[in-house]
Structure 1
């Protein structure tokens, strides 16, 4: 049998075995996904297998690049891929997609024993944060727009750093006393 005939036979076998299984998804006639574990399980993952042209004489391409797997650390993914590659090497020359899926299902706990969920940038907020959010989103008050003349006056009063000089708001003591009168005027 040629590689294409072997692939066709294996495709028919996979369709008959996993036809109604929600964990199995046929992406194309040579590409498949299988979810290992339940959706709610923290240790579940999706296994992608793609057949090259010379499959089953060569190993299939195995990956864990599905978005579902983003919560799995790179080290854990690497470990899973190494162990699946070992299984593929052991089954070289035979139809192995079903074998790889079932081996991963049976050994899920061992494959994910060092799993530590990766914290993603997207986090859910609690209800108390949702209540206080509108008050935090108040619009900033607009500052009054200054005319060019007003800006010039401000610049002429300030030094090169934009600060007013020391004593700019001091009251001239002599002018103030002449307006209010001195202590002699009261006697």
Structure 2
């Protein structure tokens, strides 16, 4: 078989294996993305793989340059890629994508054991800002104080249970009928 026939057969197999799997994405017939881990997982990463023309006789190109991997340090990315390269060398000459993806899933914890999330943005708060934040929080906690006359007015509108009487906000239908509408003319 030629390299292209091997690629076509492996592509068919990958499509059937990962059909409906949200972790696998085919970008083109020779380029794929595979997410190792759940979206919410801080140790998840996205592996980009591209086949050269001579794949599987030569190793695929693998990168971790996707935006999804921004929080992973450069050292951790190098470790992951070097471990994956070892797997590629062991499987050279055979269809290896499924093997690579499954190996990465099984060894995710070991690959990411030294992972410390990289802070992508830093917010600085000076001490004066933090005191103003706490003082506004205290102001919001206080309830609005009513005067005695406001309290009396509220009580006079309600019944003995503190509820407004039935129909207190109803509209007078007779007044509405006197205003008329477009049909009256």
Shorter-chain-normalised TM-score: which range? 0.5 to 0.7
- The aligned counterpart of 1:45 is 45
> Residue 73 of structure 1 corresponds to which residue in structure 2?
73
Q: Distance in 2 between matches of 1:51 and 1:98?
A: 14
TM alignment of 1:152-163, pairs within 5 A: none
* Residues in 2 aligned to 1:46 and 1:122: alpha-carbon distance in whole angstroms: 24
Q: Which residue of 1 aligns with 2:182?
A: none
* Partner residue in 2 for 1:93: 93
Considering only aligned residues, what root-mean-square deviation do their CA atoms show, in Å?
Answer: 1.8
- Partner Cα separation in structure 2 for residue 22 and residue 89 of structure 1: 28
Pairwise CA distance, 1:122: 6.4
Give the number of the structure whose alpha-carbon radius of gyration is greater: 1
In structure 1, the partner of 2:21 is 21
Match of 2:12 in 1: 12
For normalisation by structure 2, the TM-score amounts to 0.66
Task: Give the Cα separation in 2 of the matches to 1:113 and 1:95.
Answer: 28
Q: Give the match for residue 108 of structure 2.
A: 108
The alpha carbon displacement at 1:121 in A equals: 2.2
Q: For the residues of structure 1 that align with 2:82 and 2:113, how far apart are their CA atoms?
A: 15
Q: Secondary structure at the match of 1:33?
A: strand
**Structure 1: 5+ residue stretches without partners:** 133-187
Query: CA-to-partner distance for each residue in 1:49-72, whole Å, 9 max, x for gaps?
Result: 100000000000011010000000
**Secondary structure of 2:70's match?**
helix
- Is residue 17 of structure 2 the alignment partner of residue 54 of structure 1? no
**2:120 match:** 120
> How many residues of Structure 1 are paired with residues of Structure 2 in the alignment?
128
Match for residue 36 of structure 1? 36
Q: TM-score, normalised by structure 1?
A: 0.65
Runs of 4+ in 1 over 6 A off after TM superposition: none
> 1: distance between equivalents of 2:54 and 2:122?
41
- Mapped to 2, the partners of 1:96 and 1:59 lie a distance apart of 9
